[in-house]
């Protein structure tokens, strides 16, 4: 952990203090992707704005998110109680890209894991083929509980 950021996989992924993507294998978000906001509760809504950069390509992204419920979600790593978050987004190219489009995303955030454990994403550029993406947690091992030290006598 560096300041209020967490590095994963040797720094190929960087998360902010809320677990939002700042850097992924494909690009960076400034300030972050804004997909999570705490405290989380059913009915909570928020919006976020970011710039996504990948090489010489950049895009302005506007997201609106709503926590629509709590449910049990099945992943390859197991079944988790999770907040279900529905996100709509619009994007428009700013540098090296004049494309635009919209996206729909459903994320399941599991407090026991402290991360999004499943994501279904559907990107629809105005000119081009839509792109569906599915990501889920494939393994999870909780950190060992801190051992209690006996009080000194």
Note the pLDDT tens digit of each residue in 44-78.
Answer: 999 999 999 999 999 999 999 999 999 999 999 99
CA distance 54 to 6: 20
Instruction: Tell whether the model's pLDDT for residue 1 goes beyond 50.
Output: no
Q: Which helix (H) or strand (E) holds 102?
A: strand 100-110
pLDDT digits (tens, 9 = 90+) for 74-129: 999 999 999 999 999 999 998 877 789 999 999 999 999 999 999 999 999 998 89
pTM for the whole structure: 0.88
Quote the pLDDT of residue 153.
Answer: 45
pLDDT digits (tens, 9 = 90+) for 141-152: 888 876 555 554
Classify residue 51 by burial, with Cβ atoms within 10 Å: 0-12, 13-18, 19+: middle
């Amino acid at each position: 952990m560096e300041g209020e950021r967490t590095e994963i996989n040797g720094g190929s992924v960087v998360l902010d203090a809320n677990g939002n993507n700042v850097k992924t294998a494909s690009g960076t978000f400034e300030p972050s992707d804004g997909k999570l906001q705490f405290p989380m509760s059913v009915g909570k809504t928020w919006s976020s704005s970011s710039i996504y950069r990948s090489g010489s390509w950049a895009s302005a992204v506007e997201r609106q998110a709503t926590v629509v419920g709590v449910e049990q979600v099945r992943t390859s790593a197991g079944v988790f109680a999770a907040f279900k978050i529905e996100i709509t987004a619009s994007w428009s190219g700013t540098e090296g890209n004049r494309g635009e489009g919209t996206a729909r995303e459903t994320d399941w955030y599991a407090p026991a894991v402290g991360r999004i454990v499943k994501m279904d994403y559907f990107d629809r550029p105005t000119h081009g083929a839509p792109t569906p993406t599915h990501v889920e947690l494939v393994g999870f091992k909780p950190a060992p509980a801190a051992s209690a030290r006996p009080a000194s006598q």
